[in-house]
Structure 1
Amino acid sequence: MAERDPKQGGGFERCPGTSWEDLMAQDSRTAPAILTQESYEYLGSDPIPAERYTSEAFAQLERERMWPYVWQFAAREEDLPEPGDFVVYENAGRSFLISRQDDGSIRAFHNVCLHRGRKLRTDDGSADTFQCPFHGFTWKKDGSFSHMPCSWDFKHLDPKDLTLPEAEVGRWGGYIFLREEPGGPTLEEFLAPLPEHFKRWRHEECTTVIWVAKEVPANWKVTAEAFMEAWHTVVTHPQLLPFSGDANSAYWFWGDNVNVNLVPFGVLSPHLDPEGKSQQWIVDEFIKYNGRSADNYDPSGDPYAVSVPDGQTAREALGAAMRKSYEEQTGYDHSEATDAELLDALVYNVFPNFAPWGGYMPNIVYRWKPGKTPDTCIMEVRILSRVKKGEPIPRSCELHMLGPDEPWTAAAELGGLGPVFEQDMENLPFVQQGLHCSKNGKVQLADYQEIRIRQFQQTMMKYINGELGARK
């Protein structure tokens, strides 16, 4: 633990009430060490300069000093399952072709014709060659040059020098990453300890069943940081308070790149008066939130529709119901799965913009990418679902790109998540505007509940200042 400065505040305080550690001790199954061993230290209480979110000059530093040197989540294996399948991945001023080769390997090439600079592809697809639509310069899917029209007029070009520039590719857990500049930590080193934690949850056995994206009128860091803490629930998402221990969440981090927010469900928020609110009331409120309050609702077969037995908590009852439901749906044995892994939001974040949920429920995966200006970004939400044991992994669903005037609720497939994201959208544009007109130019962070944001910001500044990234 780092020494704390008494002038800067405590740094280690927690919300009164049932803690995450208490809930793990009370779980109906023995919780693994990854859910019980706290990893946290005081990182200081200094404010964050507002210009990091608003300045084009700072965004340019990100493009030059950070993005080329980090491992970026670019695609999932099920996005390009067959040889010849390719995905166009674009971020921070770069465009890449991620291509499945005949031997099953994956390579990533800069998606730019080496003749006049046109993008070779603008959409995902399948092809053995990449031909430029402008003049017909053509490359094989392994990036080697194939041919060009009017080759007699290009005697000064050697085909050996026309290989498409390539980025590094790493693969883990069904995820495909790329890094523009070679060198630095391996993917496994960059992700640690994420691969060890996710051994239990096996995302490589999942496929993408929902995929929605939208342009957000806020900086990519403003938007990402809105999903790095749970305590804004008390004002922004009050409908979650009856069954969410928002302020009793745990916030841990490891090294520079990985952190987690462990948010318990099936418990009453410490912001609510517990008087008259039974364990059954918590379950009933959880059912209402999940859209089961309609007059024609039929509880038969609904895993959430449980009656809490005497002596049990809402978490235990809901955990038992979900354990049984997931076993039936997937064919996998979940007998040792904790209530936390079946119910809670185990929200990990990998620097700079990859956030997969842990646990056994259908897993949410967030990705945020900077927009054309510091005042916009693209937010993507994937939902992964475990494929039934013994069955092949199907190709991912198509991306549903919402229009600029469409709310998240227009993506009906998101269910109850859509209204939650819309509540966040009611804040984010005004956060961005407020940062531009801030008098003191400072963003103040909580010592504990916003520790993930502070770790994220400190890591980013290590790249900006040359401590990480740039190869000398």
Structure 2
Amino acid sequence: MTQDLPGLSADETDRVARLLEEAATLPPAAYILDDIFERETERMFRKSWLPLARVDQVAKPGDFLAMDLLGRPVMIVHGQDGEIRVMSRTCLHRAAQVAEGNGNRKLFTCPYHAWSYDTAGQLLRAPLLEGAEDFSEPDCRLPQVRTEIWQGFILANFDPDAAPFAPQVTTFETYFEKFRLVDMAVVRTLAYASDWNWKVLVENFMEAYQHIGVHQETLEHSYHARLPRARQ
């Protein structure tokens, strides 16, 4: 028996886990309540490896790509030392953003008070603070997000205790070998306004029911909507 969740009873969540013939879909509250989405974000997304970009998008030292990740402003930076990192792009002083969009820089200088950080996130200069008590530039660095590169994908994880990504997918290495993912490059990016709960998209790809409608001539031939009949 599962426990009650904000907006969901234990009975509602139990019904979802039953065998196919008895199971029910999630109730509407699972798709619209902010409390549920916040819990999913904290327990799932911020503890999972998330693909952010490809290595070729930050190919040269100094290349950066800024974005928001789960409500947190971050940037991917190809450091002058050759390392690719994901880090905060919020200045440690008054929380202004030190980078927007993409480009190439040796320094990330805050537009508010001109604090300057290198490509590893280390604070190099804080104007007019020379001699300030209990303050030292070497002690200040933009918060780093755990970063891993797999087959050319740059992944990040907010959970410092999460298991490394690569060992979890070793069984897929042979399958993906023929696709040569590591040699691929981004040619064009498309952005879609997705004004719906993430579970709607996941559930759509988990099932093949829609293949009998919109995909009769394509996907239905390979991924059948109908369950195969039991052998006699």
CA contact (8 A) 1:138 1:146 kept: yes
Which residue of 1 is the match for residue 14 of structure 2?
A: none
Which residue of 1 is the match for residue 216 of structure 2?
A: 241
CA contact (8 A) 1:231 1:247 kept: no
- The reply to whether residue 68 of structure 1 matches residue 68 of structure 2 is no
Out of 164, 167, 171, the position equivalent to 2:142 is: 164
Out of 109, 131, 138, the position equivalent to 1:131 is: 109
CA contact (8 A) 1:88 1:96 kept: yes
How much does 1:204 deviate? 1.1
Secondary structure of 2:127's partner? coil
How much does 1:202 deviate? 1.2
CA contact (8 A) 1:230 1:249 kept: yes
Aligned pairs for 1:29-428 (under 5 A) are 45-152=23-130, 154-235=132-213, 237=214, 240-242=215-217, 244-246=218-220, 249=223
Whole-angstrom distance in 1 between the partners of 2:28 and 2:167: 31
Secondary structure of 2:77's partner? strand
Secondary structure of 1:58's partner? helix
CA contact (8 A) 1:99 1:141 kept: yes
Whole-angstrom distance in 1 between the partners of 2:134 and 2:63: 33
Secondary structure of 2:209's partner? coil
Q: Which runs of 5+ in 1 are unaligned?
A: 1-6, 11-43, 251-269, 272-447, 450-472
CA contact (8 A) 1:138 1:145 kept: yes
How much does 1:90 deviate? 1.6
How much does 1:192 deviate? 4.5
CA contact (8 A) 2:80 2:119 kept: no
Aligned pairs for 1:455-470 (under 5 A) are none
CA contact (8 A) 2:88 2:142 kept: yes
- Runs of 4 or more, structure 1, over 4 Å off, are none
Instruction: Name the aligned partner's letter for residue 249 of structure 1.
Output: Y
Change (3 A) 1:229 1:68: same
How much does 1:181 deviate? 2.1
How much does 1:72 deviate? 0.6
Change (3 A) 1:154 1:232: farther
Whole-angstrom distance in 2 between the partners of 1:208 and 1:164: 28
Secondary structure of 2:138's partner? helix
Secondary structure of 1:178's partner? strand
Deviations 1:319-366 (A, max 9, x none): xxxxxxxxxxxxxxxxxxxxxxxxxxxxxxxxxxxxxxxxxxxxxxxx
How much does 1:60 deviate? 1.3
Whole-angstrom distance in 1 between the partners of 2:139 and 2:56: 33
Change (3 A) 1:48 1:158: same
Instruction: Name the aligned partner's letter for residue 207 of structure 2.
Output: E
Deviations 1:10-45 (A, max 9, x none): 6xxxxxxxxxxxxxxxxxxxxxxxxxxxxxxxxx83
Please report the RMSD computed on the Cα atoms of aligned residues, expressed in angstroms.
2.6
Whole-angstrom distance in 1 between the partners of 2:29 and 2:136: 47
Whole-angstrom distance in 2 between the partners of 1:9 and 1:53: 21
Secondary structure of 2:41's partner? helix
Deviations 1:391-421 (A, max 9, x none): xxxxxxxxxxxxxxxxxxxxxxxxxxxxxxx
How much does 1:220 deviate? 2.2
CA contact (8 A) 1:230 1:247 kept: no
How much does 1:153 deviate? 7.7
Higher relative contact order (CA 8 A, sep 6+): 1
Whole-angstrom distance in 1 between the partners of 2:47 and 2:151: 21
Q: TM-score, normalised by structure 2?
A: 0.80
Change (3 A) 1:245 1:145: closer
Percent sequence identity over aligned pairs: 24
Deviations 1:421-472 (A, max 9, x none): xxxxxxxxxxxxxxxxxxxxxxxxxxx79xxxxxxxxxxxxxxxxxxxxxxx
Whole-angstrom distance in 1 between the partners of 2:152 and 2:127: 39
Deviations 1:155-190 (A, max 9, x none): 332223311111111111111101112122211134
How much does 1:138 deviate? 0.8
How much does 1:66 deviate? 2.2
How much does 1:141 deviate? 0.5
CA contact (8 A) 1:71 1:190 kept: no
Q: TM-score, normalised by structure 1?
A: 0.41
Whole-angstrom distance in 2 between the partners of 1:230 and 1:210: 28
Q: Which runs of 5+ in 2 are unaligned?
A: 1-17
